[in-house]
Amino acid sequence: MKQTKTFLAAAMLFGGTLVMACTLISTPQADSAALAAVGGGTVVSSQLDQFKGNQLYDVKITNSTGTWDVYVNACTGKVVKVHQDK
C-alpha cells in the first residue's frame, strides 16, 4: 500500500498520466470492427495511436459511399467514432 501511495504521489508531482494496462486487440480485429461500422469496404490503412490517454486504432476505409476514418478502442474493440471524409 505504501508503494502505491508513493507511486501515485510521484505521478502527480511530475505531471504523469496514469494509464491502465490492457491487452490490445489485434490490427485485424480492429479492421473487422471498423468495416462492420461502415458496412464494408477496403481497409486503406490501420495504425495504433494514443489520444487523451486512450489507445485507439485509426482505420481508414474506402467503400462505395466514400472514405471513412473509424476509431476503434484498442482495449475493448468498440468503435468510438466514425467520420466520413469530404
Domain ranges of the chain: 21-84
Cell numbers for 49? 495511436
**Is the pLDDT at 58 greater than 90, yes or no?**
yes
Kindly report the backbone phi and psi dihedral angles of residue 65, in degrees, each rounded to the nearest multiple of 5, phi listed first: -100, -5
Q: Look up the CATH number of domain 21-84.
A: 3.10.450.40
Q: How large is the average pLDDT for residues 53-76?
A: 97
Q: How large is the average pLDDT for residues 30-44?
A: 98
**Is the pLDDT at 8 greater than 50, yes or no?**
no
**Is the pLDDT at 5 greater than 80, yes or no?**
no
- Confidence bin at 15 (pLDDT 50/70/90): low
CA distance 80 to 73: 6
